[in-house]
Homo-oligomer: A and B are copies of this chain.
Amino acid sequence: MNQDIFQRKLQAGIVGGGPGSFIGAVHRVAAELDGQAQVVAGAMSADLQKAREAAAAWFLPRSYESYTHMAEAEAARPDPIDFVIIATPNHLHFPVAKEFLERGFHVVCDKPMTFTLDEARELVRLVERTQAVFALTHTYTGYPLVRQARELVRQGAIGEVRKVLVEYVQDWLMEPIEQRGNKQAVWRTDPARSGIAGAVGDIGTHAEHMLEYITGLRIRTLCADLTTFVAGRLLDDDANILLRLENGAKGVLTCSQIAAGEENRLTIRVYGSKAGLEWQQQEPNQLILKQQGQPQQVLRVGQPYLSEAAKNAARLPPGHPEGFYEAFANIYRGAIADVRRVKAGQQPVGGFPTVYDGLRGMAFIAKVVESSRRGAVWVEIDEE
């Protein structure tokens, strides 16, 4: 088996992420942050000129005119990329992933995982068949204290989960900016590229993933009230959703892209029979643990009292803020380690969102939209 894989940086190629993309650059920084991988190839835009310029701006040695060319050419090289990064709009996630998986590459893919639920199911089968590493970049569960929260729930620190409040609100779509040509807004609000959901797909899935990640519980049934507040928009820009979890716990998930004055407010609170937890993405370096009749405890990143999972997700001493890039890099850290392991013939370890989390997210989207279309009635998520 190839142990050399531990003696060098991994090489990555990126699909999408060209001019106008915010997330493309995030993938590059996050992939490279720990010095364990380097982006060396790209098919960064369907527009050839733009693709070339984008690759040059990143000093990439290899720029391709399309992802199919890239997959083919890299597969033929003696020193091909080790994994591909998918940073395109949603409708391309599946075809790109399929192309690279079938040629034996590992994949890091943006969320929501696919365009449709059926694609998600097929992707699960594809990953199971190829045994490739597949990481889904649900950034927010990369934060050290989100991992701490999960550990606390696991260890029983809050008792049985009773109530969960999760919200993800933004204001960037409060005006019809897609009608004024904002590139990000154009595809996010276009059913042909985003899928059947708007805010629910873009950020609701982050909230859903975080809830299931921290609590370790599945959402069983839900009742969703979706709204499109901006006239002329084709997808939802706001959602309020009642939840019932598998253990009898209740919850609310609210997400919005028209919440005036909010930047990127993702917050979760979990109340158990013994204690409560609270975390906010915009101040990610603290986690509050509350017990009745006890002083509130403020847990902070980098401290020795944290779990191994949380300690391993931090790079700096306490009081040196780590943020979004570092959380994103934690997803990559896990994926890169597993790519190395698999290439060396070892068992993968995981510790990052997978194709199964992606399937859950797509099932969530499907059921939320179904509930809302039927009049905001209760529906069941039957997908595992």
Contact of A325 among B58, B259, B326 (CB under 8 A): B326
Q: Is A47 an interface residue (CB 8 A)?
A: no
- Main secondary structure, interface of A, reads loop
The minimal Cβ–Cβ distance linking A373 to chain B, given in whole angstroms, is 14
Q: Mask for A156-181, Cβ within 8 A of B = 1, else 0? A: 00110011010101111011000000
Q: Contacts A162-B238, A320-B264; is A289 near B295 (CB within 8 Å)? A: yes
* A292/B59 in contact, CB under 8 A: no
The CA-CA distance from A22 to B316 in the complex, in Å, is 8
List A21-37 residues whose CB lies under 8 Å from chain B. Answer: 22, 25-26, 28-29, 32-33, 35
Q: Is A345 an interface residue (CB 8 A)?
A: no
The CA-CA distance from A320 to B284 in the complex, in Å, is 10
Contact of A297 among B33, B292, B297 (CB under 8 A): B297
Q: Is A380 an interface residue (CB 8 A)?
A: no
Q: Is A318 an interface residue (CB 8 A)?
A: yes
Q: Is A262 an interface residue (CB 8 A)?
A: yes
* A225/B240 in contact, CB under 8 A: no
Number of interface residues of A (CB under 8 A): 91
List A263-278 residues whose CB lies under 8 Å from chain B. Answer: 263-265, 269, 271-276
Residues of chain B within 8 A (CB-CB) of A272 are: 260
Q: Is A315 an interface residue (CB 8 A)?
A: yes
* A59/B9 in contact, CB under 8 A: yes
Residues of chain B within 8 A (CB-CB) of A264 are: 317-320
Q: Is A234 an interface residue (CB 8 A)?
A: no
Contact of A300 among B240, B251, B296 (CB under 8 A): B296
Q: Mask for A32-58, Cβ within 8 A of B = 1, else 0? A: 110100000000000000000000101
The CA-CA distance from A175 to B159 in the complex, in Å, is 13
Closest B residue by C-beta to A25:
B315
Residues of chain B within 8 A (CB-CB) of A227 are: 250
Q: Is A291 an interface residue (CB 8 A)?
A: yes
The CA-CA distance from A259 to B277 in the complex, in Å, is 10
Q: Is A290 an interface residue (CB 8 A)?
A: yes
Closest B residue by C-beta to A323:
B321
The CA-CA distance from A271 to B284 in the complex, in Å, is 24
* B293/A304 in contact, CB under 8 A: yes
Residues of chain B within 8 A (CB-CB) of A238 are: 162-163, 250
The minimal Cβ–Cβ distance linking A56 to chain B, given in whole angstroms, is 8
The CA-CA distance from A242 to B174 in the complex, in Å, is 21
